[in-house]
Amino acid sequence: MTFNPTNLILNKPIKYKDGIEIYAPKIRDIIDDNGMFNTATTMFTLKTRELFVRQREVDALEESFPTMFDLIKDSEMDETVGMLFSGEEEPRPLSDIIIDSLCYWTKLERDSVDEKCEPNGFFKTSKGKIIHVGKEWIIDTQEYERFSNYIKDIVGYKNPDDLAPPITSDNKHQAWLKLYDERMRKQKRKSITWTDKVLMRSVETDSFIPLETILDMNIYVFNRMSKIVSDKEAYDVTLKQFTSGNFKMDSKSIIHWKERIKPDSFVDLAEMKEERDNEINRRKFN
């Protein structure tokens, strides 16, 4: 954990550095933001190996561009990958989308001027860095990764288990694609909407939680509560099996649910994968 989560429990922003805070969005805002939460989260959690998962050249691409931020240092990649997220009708460079995502999490203005009418917001430099003039905040790859770690902790990000293995031949690549496509089909079938998530949360405890209460939770509290409830339910089931005498179980395997509480819940971004993968599959990056 990169920060003390107390402020998140109190629905307060997290202090990132002098003059810069990070805000965890509430569930009601996520539902009503037209997918901005997913995009703003993806910009700081997506691995380039995950982005190019269907490409035969995935190993070389990952080596050339270890992070999403490294992509904006290449003008062609900045434009091409940006189009994957913005669409072809109104294409935007990836750097623009990352800046929007920084604004989403920090609530800093993208474009503003100071009292002298000088530019005061974000801009991308010719050397591939992003700078916020007013806050004197310089974002390079190292700073991007530091900021990303905060976002990952807020949303409870877990490393994906469907990254492409080292690709050593065309046959292995085709075999991997078949396996990956099957995984994605299963993942899509299991995905649920935010509406269903909220309704499930309202009735999964012994007492009903009002919908308004859930909608006012931020994403960290929402996911942590889900994880804790899940652990408690699993403990109750295991304990009943042990005390029934009908199952052969080691008492040491029964760990009280309170001992399992740790910040490892996750946000589901599966709904974005299929569209992105299909678009990437139409293009060739080299």
pLDDT of residue 267: 46
Q: How many alpha carbons fall within 13 Å on the CB side of residue 140?
A: 3
Strands, E, within the chain: which ranges? 14-17, 20-22, 122-124, 130-132, 137-139
pLDDT of residue 137: 95
Which tokens in the block code for residue 41? 């989260």
- What average pLDDT values come out for the chain (286 residues) when binned by 10 residues? 85 93 96 93 95 91 96 96 88 96 95 71 93 94 96 91 84 90 85 86 81 93 83 71 69 62 48 54 56
pLDDT of residue 256: 61
pLDDT of residue 155: 94
Report the distance separating Cα 16 and Cα 109, nearest Å.
Answer: 16
What predicted TM-score, i.e. pTM, was given to this entire model? Answer: 0.81
pLDDT of residue 143: 97
* Nearest partner of 11 among 25, 1, 32, judged by Cα: 25
Query: How many residues does this entry show for the chain?
Result: 286
pLDDT of residue 266: 41
